[in-house]
Chain A
Amino acid sequence: EADIYQTPRYLVIGTGKKITLECSQTMGHDKMYWYQQDPGMELHLIHYSYGVNSTEKGDLSSESTVSRIRTEHFPLTLESARPSHTSQYLCASSAAAKNYGYTFGSGTRLTVV
């Protein structure tokens, strides 16, 4: 059973809408990450956090924003969705003391029409 949860699993939304992709983990992991992946393409790191009130931008420039108010929760928000945001968004977490073991969620497949 997955210990990191992403909702929704699939989302189709109109251009200009504000959306929040949810990611929660029950493992007490300090570190959390958001990756973006187009079909058949590489994963790109867009945001990460090393703890509460800590957020950093990743290698791929993204118009999304994140917050980390609670250890277990790392939501990603798009203020105004565009068709170029259509992609799969994968959330992951890892424990500080176990630097290699990333646990990934099932992903959110976003389509902006």
Chain B
Amino acid sequence: DAKTTQPPSMDCAEGRAANLPCNHSTISGNEYVYWYRQIHSQGPQYIIHGLKNNETNEMASLIITEDRKSSTLILPHATLRDTAVYYCIVRPNSGNTPLVFGKGTRLSVIA
């Protein structure tokens, strides 16, 4: 059973913000939201994760709704190199639960 729902694809103009949504309406209290991306057929790359507060790092920002049922990954100034498949994953941060990847969102950044 999928724990997250993401749109299959999105386009974004180069230089604009890319906002990638993710629904996780059945998220549990101890589960975090993680974002990874996969460029072409390379191994996925960790982007960011959060529990309930908004998070920001050098790559992106993560906005989690107050009820934690959805989140948005924001790439503030998308470049062509951000074209990739973006995965939203929900899992506990402690314990031994491996990452399980869904279908993700294929983001195309257009010049």
Q: How many residues of B contact A (CB 8 A)?
A: 21
Given contacts A42-B101, A43-B101, contact A99 B43 (CB under 8 A): no
Q: Is the interface of A mostly helix, strand, loop or mixed?
A: strand
Cβ contacts A91-113/B at 8 Å (1 or 0 each): 01000000111111111010000
Chain A: minimal CB distance from B1 (Å):
12
Question: By the criterion CB–CB under 8 Å, are B99 and A102 in contact?
Answer: yes
Smallest Cβ-Cβ distance to A59: which chain B residue: B100
- Mark the stretch among B15-23, B44-52, B65-73, B75-83 that contacts chain A: B44-52
Is B29 part of the binding interface, using a Cβ–Cβ cutoff of 8 Å? no
Pairwise interchain contact A58-B98, C-beta atoms closer than 8 A: yes
B46 smallest CB distance to A (angstroms): 5
- Asked whether A43 and B44 contact (CB < 8 A) given A99-B93, A99-B94, the answer is yes
Interface-central residue, B41, B102, B104, by most chain A CB under 10 Å? B41
Contact code string B29-65 (vs A, CB < 8 Å = 1, else 0): 0001010101001111110010000000000000000
Number of interface residues, chain A, beta carbon within 8 A: 26
CB <8 Å contact, B93 and A100: yes
A50, A101, A107: which contacts B96 (Cβ < 8 A)? A50
Q: B3 interface residue, CB < 8 Å from A?
A: no
Residues of A within 8 A of B (CB): 31, 33, 35, 37, 39, 42-45, 48, 50, 58-59, 88, 90, 92, 99-107, 109
List the 8 shortest-distance A-B pairs measured between CB atoms, nearest first.
A104-B43, A43-B101, A100-B49, A48-B98, A90-B43, A101-B46, A99-B93, A45-B98
Question: Which B residues lie at the A interface, using CB under 8 A?
Answer: 32, 34, 36, 38, 41-46, 49, 93-94, 96, 98-104
Contacts A/B (CB < 8 Å), 20 sampled: A31-B96, A33-B98, A43-B38, A43-B44, A43-B101, A45-B100, A58-B98, A59-B100, A90-B44, A100-B32, A100-B34, A100-B46, A101-B46, A102-B99, A103-B43, A104-B45, A106-B42, A107-B41, A107-B42, A107-B43
